[in-house]
Each structure stands twice: as C-alpha cells, then as structure tokens.
Amino acid sequence: MQPLLIGHLFPDYLNIYADRGNIAVLGRRAAWRGYQLEVRALGAGAEIRPGEHDLFYVGGGQDREQELIAPELAALGPALREAFEAGAVFLAVCGGYQLLGRSYRDQSGDELPGIGLLPLHTVAGSERMIGDVLLECELEPGWKETLVGFENHAGRTILDPGAEPLGRVVAGFGNDGESGYEGCRLGRAIGTYLHGPLLPRNPWLADWLLAQAIAHRTGDLPAFEPLPDELETQAHAVSARRAETRGGRF
C-alpha cells in the first residue's frame, strides 16, 4: 500500500502548545501497525487534488498568526472542501478549528474568513477560557469514550442548529462556556479547542483518525488490535483528574 499522505496546513504558523506533536503520534501509531505516513507541508497556493491526501491537519495559533494566514487558507477552501467530500479526514485544533468554520471575528473586530467546511462561526470574547477539559464523546453509536486536553481561548464558537458537537463537557468551558458542548464533528472532520497536544493522551482518537485515513486510502475500514498504551492511559487519567478538580460546569 502507498504511504498514507497527511497534509499539514501552515505548520510554521499554527503550532501553539506543541500541537505538532499530534502528527508525531499519528506517525508512530501507524508504524506500530505496519503503515507508513508521509507528511506534506501545505502553505499558500498549495496544490490539493481530490483523493490525494488521506488526512489534513491544522494546528492552533494566536490571533496574529490566524490573521496572517486566514486569507491564504480560505483560498484553499474549495480544494479542501472537495477533498472532504471525497472522503479525506480532517483534524483541526483551536485556531485551526475556528478557521475551518465560516469566519472568526477577532479581538480587534476584524472578520477573518474561514474555509466553510464546519457548520459554525466564532466571535472573540473579552475573557479567556483556560484549563483542563474532560469530555464525553460518542463518535460511533454505542461507543462512548472520554476525551481530555487543555483549552486556552477567548473565541466563542457557535455551532449551527443541528450541527454535531465533538463531545459533552464534563469539566471545563468548551465551545462557548455556556452550551455544555465542545468541538464539532462532521463525518470524518473533527474540530476542537483541546491542546496538549491532544492525541498522546487520547490514543483511541488517534486510532479512529488513522482508521478513517486508511479507509480513505483502501476503501476498507481496518480493525485494529489494541496497543500497549499504559503510559497513554496514565496521562489520560492525570488530565482527567485535573479537569475534574476544576469542577463540572454543566
């Protein structure tokens, strides 16, 4: 099988809180299962052909970085949406999550364009929402898991009516500090505010993303055997306890 191809969008600008580590986790877990990953940096004017990339990754950035790359990312919007419709997987974190929606109005009031893939928009608030987060997720019917991470954002992300959140907030703020939900999931696309980076402490999500990327490449969804995730499980538990110490908000 050809290597799985990951398109890493604007990695030089969107890499706050070591979000680049998510790519390292995907590569390692793929290798342990006999798959090879090729990571290709995608910046302004990148050529994106439908079916070529199996997974796209967008990390987090501050308002300054988002302002710098938002028009260039939006220009790639048609090609990225076409790739999504062809089955490509997406993972977007924090600033990347905001820019996968229709728009982000920043602290200065400027309206930054998004690519319009996820059904949402974001408006900057006056106070930051910071701390460990614990979510309950159900990506597949009857398959419930917990997701942990660290949030630090002023943006209030509003999902469109009927849009599916990534999870229910057990502890933390989530999308807007009011709705009780965090992130957004649309088919094989996931957006979230959870940094940390996200995947080392949530290996089940890394494996879900990998399986979806493999299904895009081969047409068949693989059934993975469990890996010895003792350290990952410990890290998950520590983050969950920190979040629970904050107290449930919803």
Per-residue pLDDT of the chain in tens (250 residues, 90 and over written 9) = 889 999 999 999 988 877 889 999 999 999 999 999 999 999 999 999 989 999 999 999 888 889 999 999 999 999 999 999 999 999 999 999 999 999 999 888 989 999 999 999 999 999 999 999 999 999 999 999 999 999 999 999 999 999 999 999 999 999 999 999 999 999 999 999 999 889 999 999 999 999 999 999 999 999 999 999 999 999 999 999 999 997 545 4
The per-residue pLDDT for 247 is 57
Please calculate the CA angle 132-197-168 and round it to the nearest 5 degrees.
45
Q: Retrieve residue 9's tokens.
A: 């969008």
- Other CB atoms within a 10 A radius of the CB of residue 29 amount to 21
Rounded to 5 degrees, φ, ψ at 205 are: -70, -40
Annotated catalytic residue 195: yes
Q: Which member of 8, 94, 153, 216 is catalytic? A: 94
Chosen CATH of 4-246 out of 3.40.50.11820, 3.90.1330.10, 3.40.50.880, 3.40.50.720: 3.40.50.880
Please calculate the CA angle 62-66-69 and round it to the nearest 5 degrees.
145
The per-residue pLDDT for 2 is 86
The per-residue pLDDT for 182 is 98
- State how beta strands 184-186 and 189-192 pair: antiparallel
Q: Which member of 53, 153, 195, 236 is catalytic? A: 195
Annotated catalytic residue 94: yes
The per-residue pLDDT for 17 is 74
The per-residue pLDDT for 16 is 80
What interhelical angle do 203-218 and 21-32 show, nearest 10?
Answer: 70
The per-residue pLDDT for 173 is 96
Asked if 114 and 58 touch (Cβ cutoff 8 Å), the reply is: no
